[in-house]
Structure 1
């Protein structure tokens, strides 16, 4: 027998596993690790959402199989959200399906629409499921830029021209995980036009739709007239309502893609636990002040991180959206590489970050920092990092001042 199965052979070693193992070992030794690695919200869901979960879970008839495509009330609530947030009209029956998180939804759709050898266009660096969901399904990935810069569409054109067979799908996610890049509606208009011209499906990951800063709301690709002809969009309750462990997400848009995803899901799951779906309805239909509260929380943490890390000697670009900062390794330590730098931060500064190379080879030279610790802990992380940088001979503002004085 083969020592390794075909689909497993196509998956490289998980880059984050080594850092995670070191983090667990450090904590087992009693070390206080400031964990800025995983994008795991540290705030609870709104109280009325938890109350609805408990209320419905107390009903004796709420514990059977649920609906794989999502209970009708939840699909209607999602349609209402898209109407008020994006002015996009969706049919709850044919254009919305509830998924077990956006990650699982993307992977299930990849299974539904991918044939072995299909070419998929996906950003590099990117959230791993954007590529590996399709790799597991047997596809070949052709990388495109994660940043929507001047060469983005030039690279798309080259990918279509020189890929054999012709690409079938374009995957994108803005605000980006890990890079925190954002786009405007003009960008999406060009994407839709490109997709229609080349007969390519577009899969948009909008998991961070509500975590935007500086008063500039993130758009949906479905706001583009005719986008539903080629596009499907994934969203999640995880970050907006701090419901990451509840595993509730959505796919909305093109009827053909929604139908394919719904059919595959019907073979794979019975849907999320009904009380969780009912609580998700309460979140979408209930008071929305909690969204602004979460947004302001991450904005304050962003500002503290950028300011305190700069004082420590590490310039981190200020993200315009998402719950992450995409930080270049300090120039004097860039030779270490993302993985070794992350390991040294954990060992010598007791700060965990995600090595950028774990999101693709273009992530080398960067680390992703999650805004999932409170402001006090972020400042403590900065102090620890400052001591580490000084021990490595990196000039920090304090050292520079001392020398100049």
Structure 2
């Protein structure tokens, strides 16, 4: 039964609405079948495991089985060492601390806050671009807004020269395609294309790192390349893998958060109108979005470093785990009326950005990007409306979101 539900979750036919499948999973908080993964689908059990040091995020500790529906789904980048997202302590902690020094508190407390004006300018410029495009009778919000916005932000954060930003947009699109493969495409060609793009990106970043070591600025890449603090200095390969992580992980999740957010608002016009009149609503609304339509639906391919017991189920050392974050976010034992979108909901301790040592590194920036983007779209798009519902979704079941969001509006307000 569990394997059948997992196959349905992966099946593209259920991408637009996987929530009934998650509801079915929650009937058995920890389920397992044959040689498949142990699947955890309820809030408190997921939260506990996210804080459990006996759970490994290092793929090298995992032995994929034929019964794991995602065993062969993700391409490994063998050219770079694992990013800290896919490491366990103590290496995870060392690299995360070093990456955080130029990004957030306590060493750089104002980095994200000070980007607010720059982010607002990017948002305004993209909306102005929509206004000057071919017409307002069919706008693809993903291609024209949700995709380019986070790439521009990551470029500014890393310190990529403005004239090189278009190259990053091309690389981001190609990497996104590798994470969201066309099932009809030739796998060998897809893998070659992804490898070529990663090589190009790596060579570019390596050159930029050397430039920053010779002439550092105040950008994150300069700090990562030159800092030599209590944890020592990053190697060039560690700077490369960290920079690639910031680009890929930071971009993909934010695209989904903004797109899922606008889709949800268009389905709830009363909330859209409230946001148009009160931009302060953006803060609690984004938190509710992270619960209601999280950009990362599940964390597959975790493993156990010891025998553990969860909800009365004994899970042996070396077992594969799937943590279904989006299911935990709809758990009625944690959230009242969980299938209702309610920006006034109190105590939204969601799992949309993870929890524990692997909680989303870029959470403050992602929140700010979504708050600015959605409040400005609500303010400036006059009478926006969906043209397709549900819209076409991406193939990826982990990073779930519309691949296109066709909308129309009457005009773009100043």
Shorter-normalised TM range: under 0.3
TM-score normalised according to structure 2 size:
0.26
- As a proportion of its length, which structure holds more strand? 1
TM-score normalised according to structure 1 size:
0.26
